[in-house]
Amino acid sequence: MNKKIIALVSLLILLATPLAGCSNQTEKETLVIYSGRKEQFVMPLIEKFEQDTGIKVQLLSGNAIEYAHRIMEEQRNPQADIFLANDAGVMEYLRLQGALEPNNSKELANIPANFRAEDGSWVGLSARSRVLMYNKDLITEAEMPQSILDLTDPKYKGQFAITRAGNESMISHISALRAELGDEATTELLKGILANKPIITSGHTDIRKAVGSGEVAFGLVNNYYFHLQLEEETHNNVGVIYPDQGEQQMGTFVNVAGVAIVKDAKNMDNAKAFVDFLLQPEQQELFAYNSKETPLVANVPTLDYAKKIDEYKHMSMPLSNLGTVWEDTVDLMERAGFSE
């Protein structure tokens, strides 16, 4: 009897083995995401993606520049499928280093061409414009600088704040100014700004709080920090200047938060499905409301107090141009005396 039972069990195991193999083949693989974005901005989208598709996601959040270096180091054996970044410059830099995967999805057409890579390997999800937020109790709109170039005016000495040189947004902003003004003029601009003794902070949150509390009259931030300060219960009497809006001026620098596909990602199909998911108008709206940023598509609803992307003049340079100068910009900033 025991021999018959053993034989029967063995037979069942043999019969079950092909079924188990089929199950493994059809099982959704876990999508691994390296993210430089704060979790509260991306988790609602990830949870919705998991619910809609059944694909599991592993989110690793931290410093975007450190994750970019990690992607470079892991090129022979990629550990991530997706990179979420706060900045187009770092994504384009990775593309130029051969670390990103081209993507020809038709969904990319939802985003204007100047806000995505030429090969589709990265694409912007929302706009983050570089603005001057000010405290209305300390300075009037008429007294505010109307151009980034005005930050060298001695009358603003000691009155404003900027982030440290290593901040992603600052690096890309200076890169864009290099493309617009040239290296010599950009270096002189930086020297002039530093001569005005700005408060230099570790990040934009420090700036918005300093402006809101009246520690400084104004600060250079991404526009959504202005939106965040407006929502504070106190210290919210703030205004904003979108700089360089004159007819002969260069326009406001508009960077993007975006998504990139890692070269030779182990879960390529799921990675491309995730990008397509993020580019749908419903997700664009959700992302904009959560992050307080500006949708890259003008007809996507956003916060009442947030300007739409077509309501202000912005620099016309394609963000893909940032990649070729992004790394060298740090050297230029150091030569100008602006470093970590």
pTM, entire model: 0.84
Q: Check whether 19 has a pLDDT greater than 50.
A: no
Pairing of strands 199-201, 160-163: parallel
Q: Hey, what domains does the chain have and what are their CATH numbers?
A: 24-127+255-304 (3.40.190.10), 128-253+328-335 (3.40.190.10)
Please tell me the number of Cα atoms within 13 Å of 132 on its side-chain side.
26
Q: Check whether 34 has a pLDDT greater than 90.
A: yes
Q: Check whether 200 has a pLDDT greater than 80.
A: yes
Average pLDDT, the chain: 89
Q: In 3D, which of 93, 53, 50, 49 has the Cα closest to residue 69?
A: 93
pLDDT at residue 28 in the model:
53
Q: Check whether 94 has a pLDDT greater than 70.
A: yes
**Hey, CA dihedral for 169, 171, 173, 179, is it positive or negative?**
negative
**285 neighbors 301 (Cβ within 8 angstroms):** yes
pLDDT at residue 25 in the model:
34
